[in-house]
A and B are shown apart, each in its own frame.
Chain A
Amino acid sequence: MSEFRIADRVASVPPSGIRRFFELAEEMDDVISLGVGEPDFTAPWRARQAAIDSLERGRTSYTANRGMAELREEIAGYVERYDLSYDPDDEVLVTAGASEGLDLAFRALVDPGDTVAVVEPCYVSYRPGVTFAGGEVLSVPTRAEDGFELTRDLLERSGAADADLLVLCYPNNPTGATMDREGLAEVAAFARENDLTVLSDEIYAELTYEGEHASIAALPGMRERTVVFNGFSKAFAMTGLRLGYALGPADAVGAMNRVHQYTMLSAPTTAQYAALTALRKCADDVGDMRDQYDRRRRFVLSSFEEMGIDCVEAEGAFYAFPEAPGGDAEAFAEDLLEAERVAMVPGTAFGAGGQGHLRASYATGIDELREAMARLRRFLDAEQ
């Protein structure tokens, strides 16, 4: 052992809540995992081909800090489908995954002592990201009874009026909740009234199954106070290529780019070529994957219903967030894993509001899902 003194802001962050569960699952054979937060599909072949082509042509140097101009233009055109309009020159930043984008935003926009309201349950990185930047996290828990949507009431009650920033993610990991324009308008009004900067993680935007994805940045008066994050990991099944982007007004994106240029320099070049082709030629692949997720979603929701498991109608991403039968999600998840080798992640790993729930990812082939549901059924029958 060496004797490094770990910096407080790092030492104060607990290890990931899913870590222990991951270790349990890894020890066992024949586990069907509904605990995976990434697509089971591989990146579209055309996008992979583009990456290979770029390597063959020797495109292995840095790109512009903000990302290749061509890619930024393509991104700006692509997000118009969400009524978003950004100047590719100074309002689009290509990042190493949406995660880097969020980290850049925390570092560029949060001063020590600033309060960042985080809508929970949520992806596990927001809290640590805020802490690393020296900010204070204010939890805004959502509830099953609201379909895990964010409401003005929840914002008010959690004291978000005094926060400086608000982080939200819809379609949501881990709940699968989505928010329509109307619901977001309420949140937007609250943000404007209380002068909140909004960081909107829309990495699952394309994976919206009921209605259309709505971006809070497209609502009146929101563009100037919002940074939007998206990327290629989920809809394009390109997690390992590490490519995302941030969209926002020039001052915010410029500040983020200042951190980015000194830390990342530029997002992976090979991945940028893959992304360019993904946007230009892989819409059908995305559509096919979305159709398949949608069927699995219906399959899982129907199965839960048949088994008498309460679950909010998940309408986006690739997660359902059922209530754990018996109420103790940790115990249920461990017993289920032990007895039937099915892994679901206890909701507490995703922050406040997650207790008593399980995250079931349906980024798993339909045959495995059928088997997982059969095992779950058997487990519940044996419990009774």
Chain B
Amino acid sequence: MDRRELLELLRENARYSTADLARQLGADEEAVETAIAELEAEGVIRGYKAVVDVEQLDDTPVRAFVECNVALDRETGYGDIAQRLVKFDEVRSLRLVSGDYDFALEVEDDSMGALSRFVSEQVAPVPEVTQTVTHFIMTSYKEGGIEFGDGDDDDRLSVTP
């Protein structure tokens, strides 16, 4: 079985049943189960989550991107700093990026106040952190590859040659 294609399908919809995955891959169900188990064991698949439009929730959490600059020294590398930051539940993603700053954090909290406090009390004081710039997310048009619009209606004729 083509693992790349299996991953593509799971990244498209992690809730496909094993039977439907098998049908689409032209493989048998057992082989699909085995491949998924392997991918999980190898750490290629790290989890399965729903893509939620949080703006539709009653209690919309507040989210922000935080640009974060750090100063390294002989004893401290990017990995060491990352290890401290990933432990916070508020940090939804943490990436080392190229460009004007070092880390890009995606943080989420219950309110703007709580999120601001988190950045100023937990991120900024980390000794190696020299600067943070916080961008609050105002609205989201696409998450995890899924567009948040109403979608296009299928305007094709129902039967055509």
Contact = CB atoms under 8 A, between A and B. Distances in A.
Interface stretch (B50-58, B72-80, B112-120, B151-159): B151-159
Given A38-B156, A295-B25, A298-B25, A125 B161 contact: yes
Given A38-B156, A303-B23, 14 more contacts: A16-B161, A21-B159, A25-B158, A26-B158, A31-B158, A36-B157, A125-B161, A295-B9, A296-B24, A298-B24, A298-B25, A299-B24, A302-B23, A302-B26
B23 A37 contact: no
Contacts of A33: 158-159
User: Which of A38, A123, A125 lies at the interface centre, i.e. has the most chain B CB atoms within 10 A of its CB?
Assistant: A38
Nearest to A373: B23
Q: Which 7 A-B pairs have the closest CB atoms?
A: A35-B159, A302-B23, A22-B159, A298-B26, A295-B24, A124-B161, A299-B23
B93 to A, nearest CB: 25
Interface in B141-161: 152, 154, 156-161
Interface string B1-38: 00001001100000000001011111000000000000
A18 interface: yes
A123 B23 CA distance: 28
A345 interface: yes
Contacts of B154: 40
Contacts of A124: 161
A173 B158 CA distance: 17
Contacts of A301: 26
A36 B24 contact: no
A36 B159 contact: yes
Contact of A22 (B5, B23, B158): B158
A123 B161 CA distance: 7
Contact of B23 (A21, A31, A298, A345): A298
Interface of B: 5, 8-9, 20, 22-26, 152, 154, 156-161
A182 B128 CA distance: 68
Which of A33, A125, A295, A349 has the most CB atoms of chain B within a 10 A radius of its CB? Answer: A295
Nearest to A305: B23
16 contacts: A16-B161, A18-B159, A18-B161, A22-B160, A26-B157, A35-B159, A36-B158, A37-B161, A124-B161, A173-B161, A291-B5, A291-B8, A299-B23, A301-B26, A303-B23, A349-B161
Interface string A20-60: 01100110000101011110101000000000000000000
A343 interface: yes
A259 interface: no
Interface string A326-370: 000000000000000001010001000000000000000010001
A42 B160 contact: no
A36 B157 CA distance: 7
Contacts of A302: 22-23, 26
Give the size category of A's interface with B: 20 to 34
B149 to A, nearest CB: 13
Contacts of A25: 158-159
B20 A370 contact: yes
A299 B20 contact: yes
Contacts of A370: 20
B26 A343 contact: no
Contacts of A26: 157-159
Contacts of B20: 299, 370
Contacts of A298: 23-26
Given A40-B154, A42-B152, A295-B9, A35 B23 contact: no
Contacts of A173: 161
B9 to A, nearest CB: 7
A234 to B, nearest CB: 12
Contacts of B160: 18, 22, 35-38
Contacts of B26: 298, 301-302
A12 B113 CA distance: 78
Contacts of A299: 20, 23-24
Nearest to A31: B158
Contacts of B23: 298-299, 302-303
Nearest to B152: A42
Max chain A C-beta neighbours (<10 A), residue from B24, B25, B26: B24
A298 B25 CA distance: 7
Contacts of A22: 157-160
A36 to B, nearest CB: 5
Given A42-B152, A366-B24, A35 B158 contact: yes
Nearest to A33: B158
A370 B22 CA distance: 13
B159 A345 contact: yes
A303 B26 CA distance: 10
A178 to B, nearest CB: 16
Contacts of A40: 154, 156
